[in-house]
Structure 1
Amino acid sequence: MATKAVILVLDSFGIGYAPDADKFNDVGANTFASIASAFVKQKGRQLVLPNLTSLGLVDAATAASSGHQAEVPKATKLIGGYGFAQELSSGKDTPSGHWEIAGVPVLYEWGYFQNKTNSFPAEFIAELCQRTGVSGILGNCHASGTDILVKLGDEHVKTGQPICYTSADSVFQVAAHETHFGLQRLLDFCLIARELLDKYNIGRVIARPFLGDAATNYARTGNRRDFSVLPPAPTVLDKLTQAGGQVIAIGKIADIYAHQGITKNIKATGLTALIDTSLAQMATQPDNSLVFTNLVDFDQNYGHRRDPIGYGEALEYFDGRLAEIFAACDADTLLILTADHGCDPTWPGTEHTREYIPVLVYQPGMQGVNLGKRNSFADIGQTLADYFKLEPMQYGESFLAQIRLA
């Protein structure tokens, strides 16, 4: 029997605060419910998500929220498996969430830059400037990636000094103008920063190139690059490729896994392009392969920017495209929709939120099946290991048998 799988990560689409949310000051956060409520209040109507709800999204979210139903009607007929998963990893960041999805939770603490201003160690800045030849850096603080362009973009263009900032995540971000600073120079700068930051146990260095000629129109481009450390153990992606299978990474997936366990890497920018690219790869997807896509817009454009209406409209657009995705699934294709963390756009601040994630599964002809609460995101990776007949992962419990009984 042929085996193909597709994972679509709705980046930041949490469905209710996790049991340990108090450790993160996130008790009460609920990305899905907050978006739904804002839609009713501000647009005077409910979210329209017929395809997601047919997979059991509302049922999963209601269970994850202790019986509180988001202001979205349930589907009358379910055609997929639905559940919700709790994170084992110590953080609520992108690498931790994705690595755990692939069967490898992060059980150690990342290094963080805790200080809101003067965030980076002086010795690190000095060596970074010396190694890269820049006269200094701008920022050196916790900041919103869009706000800091307005604040420091002109000074960056004038001085040639890169804008360096961080957040509550284990991350070092560098914004630079593609024309005035140069894209390749930015990537080279970030590679050196990646090397220097290893001793601080920082998870990611992110290159944030932008264009524009004034503070009013500076805007990020699609040439973002993430430079991640390697996962602490082989992921299910590694095991699939080592067994002769293929992993087709779309969007920022390859960067998140430091290009390990990836056989094909395809960049795409924007929700439409990411979905179009996923569909194109599904159309020619070989046996024993995984198409793996991160839909970053939900997090980057709406969650972090605290835009619940934009988030809801993007969900409705994605839902409309789901019919095409369902149609592209062969009888031997396993489709999984999930998330990597929450980012409630109505929650204080601009950071991720510690939440349960949805686990929605589809195969043609499938009936509704309740997958219940999953104790780790790693259940997804374990299920894929089971599905592709690979050596089991150390973490996670497969739900493949439940699907096949449906």
Structure 2
Amino acid sequence: MPRALMIVLDSVGIGGAPDAEAYGDAGSDTLGHIAERCAAGLGDRAGLRAGALRLPHLAALGLGLAAAGASGRIPPGLNTAGRPAGAYGHAVETAAGKDTPSGHWEITGLPMPEPWGHFPETRPAFPAALTQALITEGGLPGILGDRHAPGVAIIDELGAEHVRTGRPICYTSADSVFQIAAHEEAFGLEALYALCRVARRLCDPYRVCRVIARPFVGSAKAGFRRTGNRKDFAVAPPGRTLLDRAEAAGRSIVSVGKIGDIFAHRATGREIKPGPNAACLQAGLDALADLTDGGLIFVNLVDFDTEYGHRRDVPGYAAELEAFDARVPEIQAALRPGDLAIITADHGNDPTWTGTNHTREQVPVLAFGPGVTPRSIGRRDSLSDIGATVAAHLGLPWDGAGRPFL
């Protein structure tokens, strides 16, 4: 029986979506702009990387051609010599928004037609009733922040006051999020998680997609830094996903990285959350070695987004892409006859763009494995085509959105 491996390169968009203008993102192109900056010598960082963007293995799978389908041009350095080694194309998100859960849910056959609730870019950003309820039910002396802000910057700004007063740092962004940052030692990690559970319930009437715990450590003198103990408290998918269908069929499921949080831990099987991209990819490959017939592994590699996209770090993003590309041969070697691997993304986060938020972009779809015929699959009008294809490959019944492309 066949198996499937899905890898989401979180935020690796390949060109503005048809409706990007409505989101203020017309002209955004995460992969293309990174490649252009690198080709111009603007992606160099001493001790990290230098020169043109080098993604030979992803290019061989058709990434450059997929980008050309989405943006009209092959990014510098991503030309394919000869026939691509897999099926390649690009997909358009139909869900309203550009958030991580919406993208992942659509990948698994559940597009969200209604937009999430968002907090306005005002000061304060949160409704007074929500803030007061959080203070009262959370037993807090108050909160700090209460505005749109980049996470690292607001922790640097307010971390010392938070430690001194015990008031957590609450902030948001253009995404549908309520984020709470607190010091792991001074406030307590479990106390932060408990507060986020309260906030999750309080945010439900506002249609807020995620409440995110953002723990950090350090001091004003030594500097503050976020830790790997982030935890997302997301709304559960409002319908059946590919994961639900796999679970109902008794299939083995392994979720790596943020997948468990994104799907509210429903039908996510064995969850592994080891940390950075390299560790998550290794965990996925280790799980693949033992995966039973008919099983599914779903991996999210979040560092592209959180560490480099939101921080507008072109050299860091480029280096992370190159590090992943170097391991593509490992993925190919781990596939058995009958296996299917798909590499894709959930949205964009162009590090050359204004602001620090996600960008509304199309995403690559690279499908490969011992039995996959190399060819163009063209434009897919929904990310749900990915879930429909995996369901067909695994022999799962399908009544979700999307159409198989293999």
Answer whether TM exceeds 0.5 for this pair: yes
**Is 1:390 matched with 2:396?**
yes
**Is 1:28 matched with 2:27?**
yes
Deviation at 1:367, TM superposition (A): 4.3
Aligned to 1:40: 39
Counterpart secondary structure, 2:106: helix
Aligned to 1:62: 68
Deviation at 1:75, TM superposition (A): 2.1
Aligned to 1:404: none
Q: Percent identity?
A: 48
**Is 1:201 matched with 2:207?**
yes
Given the two structures, how large is their TM-score scaled by the length of structure 1?
Answer: 0.96
**Is 1:99 matched with 2:99?**
no
- For residue 260 of structure 2, the aligned residue among 245, 254, 259 is 254
Counterpart secondary structure, 1:208: strand
Contact 1:13 1:32 in 2 (8 A): yes
- For residue 340 of structure 1, the aligned residue among 337, 343, 346 is 346
Distance 2:328 2:78 in 1: 18
Counterpart secondary structure, 1:298: helix
Aligned to 2:175: 169
Deviations 1:158-209 (A, max 9, x none): 0111100000011000000100000000000000000111111100000011
Deviations 1:49-83 (A, max 9, x none): 111001100001011112x2211241213111100
Counterpart secondary structure, 1:6: strand
Point out where structure 1 has 5 or more consecutive residues left out of the alignment: 401-406
Amino acid at match of 1:352: H
Deviation at 1:215, TM superposition (A): 6.4
1:193-232 superposed matches below 5 A? 193-214=199-220, 217-232=223-238
Structure 1 residues 197 and 74: alpha-carbon distance in aligned structure 2, compared to 1, 3 A threshold = same
Distance 1:244 1:158 in 2: 51
Aligned to 2:153: 147
Amino acid at match of 1:282: L
Deviation at 1:366, TM superposition (A): 4.0
Counterpart secondary structure, 1:207: strand
Counterpart secondary structure, 2:378: strand
Amino acid at match of 1:180: A
Distance 2:169 2:215 in 1: 10
Deviations 1:97-138 (A, max 9, x none): 000000000101211101332011111111111111111010
Deviations 1:311-345 (A, max 9, x none): 01110000001111111111121100000000000
Counterpart secondary structure, 2:8: strand
Distance 1:27 1:91 in 2: 14
Aligned to 1:14: 13
Distance 1:158 1:139 in 2: 15
**Is 1:72 matched with 2:80?**
no
Deviation at 1:288, TM superposition (A): 1.4
**Is 1:373 matched with 2:379?**
yes
Contact 2:86 2:368 in 1 (8 A): yes
Distance 1:215 1:370 in 2: 55
Point out where structure 2 has 5 or more consecutive residues left out of the alignment: 45-49
RMSD: 1.2
Distance 1:240 1:187 in 2: 30
Distance 1:392 1:283 in 2: 27
Distance 1:188 1:271 in 2: 27
Counterpart secondary structure, 1:150: helix
The number of residues matched between the two structures is: 398
Aligned to 2:287: 281
Contact 1:151 1:215 in 2 (8 A): no
- For residue 264 of structure 1, the aligned residue among 258, 267, 270 is 270
